[in-house]
């Protein structure tokens, strides 16, 4: 479905702000609590929590994070899920979200209704109420920016800093080719993230958004380099399909460089009992693949992957 319409009767401009807000509350249904805990006051009010607060913000923008080929429900789900993936990456638990819309008056009401129903569906599935937001007019586009408030689930918040030379490098799921659908069909790894944050031998973690080759740098200690085994990279079926279609890149290249995997990348201390760790993982998360890609070392050997030949997604560069 196309987000924009040239028929004024089918566009949100036919509603005006008050009716649009009423419609959004209807579309969200029980995914938004009554005010002041939800939409309708100057701020949303969240109950007390004895834990540290986590905050993350990510948008979905038309032409950038989705186009007319992605169903509007899936766009709404993606908006919440990509922020949930950030909470998962710190081992946290989500609490509530606010959504700021910047949209053209020509946005189709039917499209927007489906977008909000998708958001509401994800909100219920992950138990994250949509507690407020803002609507502003911005000619020519559609951007929805969601800020997710969470809380630490363990004593520790698992950050990107902490890996040491010698640590093992792990990743969940399979990588690459998200453009074929995974970029909105993924499952944020909340349970896995919380479990990992409770283990002291897990020393650092992040979620993959710009591709392994680029993102791994954020976990790499200053005095080490990642020594990865090419055969250990979990290449997704989509990455293989993409490589078969176009002759430009190998499936491995897609797995290393494509963005929007939304998988967890983490490091395990050298001293950890890897066999026991992996056996427990299989019992706890039988349907989430886990791969050990290699470890941090002082230097790479010729048989290790050379990450410099591929690049993750670099934003804002003009390609003209």
Within residues 247-276, the interface with a copy of itself by CB under 8 A covers none
Binding of a copy of itself by 192 (CB under 8 A): no
Give the one residue of 31, 39, 70, 87 binding a copy of itself; rule: CB under 8 A: 87
**Helix ranges restricted to H, 173-250:** 182-185, 190-197, 212-215, 237-245
Which among 16, 2, 55 has a CA at the least distance from the CA of 135? 16
Lookup: tokens for 226: 């990642």
A 10 A CB-CB count for 216 gives: 23
Q: Write down how long the chain is.
A: 320
Give the one residue of 46, 224, 272, 290 binding a copy of itself; rule: CB under 8 A: 46
Give the one residue of 161, 185, 198, 200 binding a copy of itself; rule: CB under 8 A: 161
* 72-91 per-residue burial string, b: 16 or more CB within 10 A, e: under 16: bbbbbbbbbbbbbbbbbbbb
In this chain, which stretch among 88-96, 225-233, 240-248, 278-286 interacts with a copy of itself, using CB under 8 A? 88-96
Which among 22, 60, 45, 30 has a CA at the least distance from the CA of 125? 30
Q: Which 125-144 positions form the footprint of a copy of itself (CB under 8 A)? A: 131-141, 143
Binding of a copy of itself by 49 (CB under 8 A): yes
Torsion of CA 87, 92, 97, 99, to 10 degrees: -10
Residue 219 CB, nearest distance to a copy of itself (Å)? 11
Binding of a copy of itself by 316 (CB under 8 A): yes
Binding of a copy of itself by 179 (CB under 8 A): no
Binding of a copy of itself by 180 (CB under 8 A): no
Residue 37 CB, nearest distance to a copy of itself (Å)? 10
Give the one residue of 53, 181, 191, 280 binding a copy of itself; rule: CB under 8 A: 53
Binding of a copy of itself by 306 (CB under 8 A): no
């Amino acid at each position: 479905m196309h987000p924009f319409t040239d028929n004024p009767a089918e566009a949100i401009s036919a509603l005006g702000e008050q009716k649009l807000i009423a419609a959004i509350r209807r579309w969200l249904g029980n995914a938004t609590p009554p005010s002041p805990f939800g939409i309708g006051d100057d701020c949303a009010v969240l109950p007390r929590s004895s834990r540290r607060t986590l905050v993350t913000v990510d948008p979905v923008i038309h032409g950038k994070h989705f186009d007319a080929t992605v169903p509007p429900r899936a766009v709404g789900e993606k908006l919440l899920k990509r922020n949930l993936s950030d909470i998962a990456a710190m081992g946290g638990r989500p609490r509530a979200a606010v959504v700021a819309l910047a949209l053209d008056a020509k946005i189709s009401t039917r499209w927007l209704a489906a977008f909000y129903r998708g958001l509401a569906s994800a909100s219920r599935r992950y138990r994250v109420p949509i507690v407020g937001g803002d609507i502003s007019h911005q000619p020519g586009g559609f951007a929805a920016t969601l800020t997710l408030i969470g809380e630490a689930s363990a004593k520790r918040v698992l950050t990107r800093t902490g890996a040491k030379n010698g640590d093992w490098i792990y990743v969940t799921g399979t990588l690459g080719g998200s453009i074929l659908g995974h970029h909105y069909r993924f499952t944020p790894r909340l349970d896995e993230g919380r479990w990992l944050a409770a283990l002291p031998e897990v020393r650092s973690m992040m979620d993959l958004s710009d591709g392994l080759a680029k993102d791994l740098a954020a976990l790499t200690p200053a005095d080490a380099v990642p020594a990865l085994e090419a055969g250990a990279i979990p290449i997704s079926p989509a990455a293989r399909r993409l490589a078969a279609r176009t002759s430009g890149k190998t499936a491995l290249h897609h797995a290393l460089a494509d963005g929007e995997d939304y998988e967890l990348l983490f490091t395990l201390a050298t001293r950890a009992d890897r066999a026991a760790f992996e056996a427990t993982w299989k019992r706890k998360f039988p349907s989430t693949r886990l791969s050990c890609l290699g470890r941090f070392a002082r230097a790479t050997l010729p048989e290790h992957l050379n990450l410099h030949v591929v690049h993750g997604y670099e934003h804002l560069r003009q390609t003209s």
